[in-house]
Amino acid sequence: DAFPSEAAQASLPDQVRVHRVLGQLQRVLETMGRPTSLQTTEQGAYTGHLIRDGIMPVGDPPEAPLLASPALVQIPVKTPIGSGFSGLVGGTPLIELSSLSEATGRRIVAKAEFLSPGGCQKDRVAKQIIADAESAGKLHPGATIFEGTSGSTGISLTLAAAAKGYKVHVVMPDDQAVEKVESLRRFGADVTLVRPASITSPSHYVNVARRLAEEACGRPGPGAYFADQFENTSNFRAHYSNTGPELWSQCGQDLDAFVMSAGTGGTLAGVGRFLKEVSPGVHVCLADVQGSSLYSKVVHGVLYAPEQQERTVRRHRIDTIAEGIGLDRLTANFSSGLHDHNGGLPGIDAAVKVSDQEALEM
C-alpha cells in the first residue's frame, strides 16, 4: 500500500502528511506514462526520491538528479505558530562545543540565545518587562518606553515594543559599538548618546533615561515608562520562570554546572536560582570580565578589591573590549541570585576572572 494506514496517520501527529500531494503527483505522472514507485516506513512516513521521471524508492538510488530530498517528507509539522515577536522568544537550542568537550573530558554545551529574534537573551527580559508593566497598569497604548542600556536590551525592547505599538527611547554611552546605535535607529528607536560616567553622576546613561521618562510622564500624552533593567526584577523573573526551566528540561534534568557572565545579573541569578532549587548540587559560577567588581563580591563578599581599604574605594575600572557585562555595583537582579531559599546557602558558588586576552583566545 503506497499510503499510510489510518492507524499509522493517527499515531503520528508530528509527521508531515504528504500522501495526498504525492498521491496526486503519482496519478499525474502515471497519466503521462512515467513510472512511479512509493515506499513507506513502518511509521507511515514516505521515503521516496522525487526525480525527473517520477518517485523511486530510497533503497534504489536513482541516476537522475534529485529534485527533492527524502528528508523533506520527514520534517515535523506540529510546531507552534509564533504570534509576532513574543512568539519567537525562547526555545533556543543547546549546541555542544565539541572541542571543549574533548579538551575537558566533560560534555560542554552552550545555549544558543543568539538565535533569538533580537540576537540575545535580552529578548526574554524585554518581553517580561513589558508584560509585567502592562499587568500593573504602568504601560498604556502609545506610551514611550525609556531605557538606559549598552545596546542589547535596547534592541530587544525596541523590537518587543514595536510589536505592541509602543515607542522606545534609548540612552547609551557613546563608546559602544556603532553597529548597535545603527541597529536601534533602523528598528525605530530614538537614541541619545552620553559620555560614560559613574552611576553616582546625573549624567550616567541610566540616570539620564530615568530623568527623561519622568519628564515625559509630566507632559500630556499616552505617558512613559522607565524599564530599569538593572533594578527591575522582571529581568530576574524572566530567567527564573522561563530560561532556567527550559535549560533544565533540555539537559534531561541532569546538569552539573552553569557558567555565565553578568551585566545586570538577571540571567545568572534567575537561571542559577532555579537550578539550585531543583538540584542543589548544580554548581553555579560567574565568569567576570577584567575590571568588574562582581568577582570580588562573590569570592570576598565585598565590591572592592582586597588590597583596597574600606571607605577609600575609588573607581578604578580597567577598560575591556567586552560590552554589556561586568559592573561596579550590586543590582537588585544580581542580589536575587546570591542566596537561595534553603537557609541562605550560596546561590552563586564561585567566580573566575576572564581577561580580554583569554576571551579572544577562547
The residues annotated with a catalytic role in the active site are: 122
Q: Which ranges in 232-355 belong to alpha helices (H)?
A: 234-238, 244-250, 266-278, 294-300, 332-335
Burial of 126 (0-12, 13-18, 19+ CB in 10 A): buried
Burial of 284 (0-12, 13-18, 19+ CB in 10 A): buried
CA–CA distance, 130 with 145 (Å, rounded to integer): 9
CA 235-238-142 angle, 5° bins: 70
Q: Compute the CA torsion angle 241, 247, 249, 251 (nearest 10 deg).
A: -160
Beta strands in the chain (DSSP E): 48-51, 54-57, 66-68, 94-96, 109-111, 144-148, 167-173, 190-194, 224-226, 257-260, 283-289, 350-354
Contacts of residue 272, defined as CB under 8 A and 6 or more positions apart, other chains included, come to 244, 258, 260, 284, 337, 347, 348
CA–CA distance, 254 with 57 (Å, rounded to integer): 41
Q: 575591556: which residue's cell? A: 320
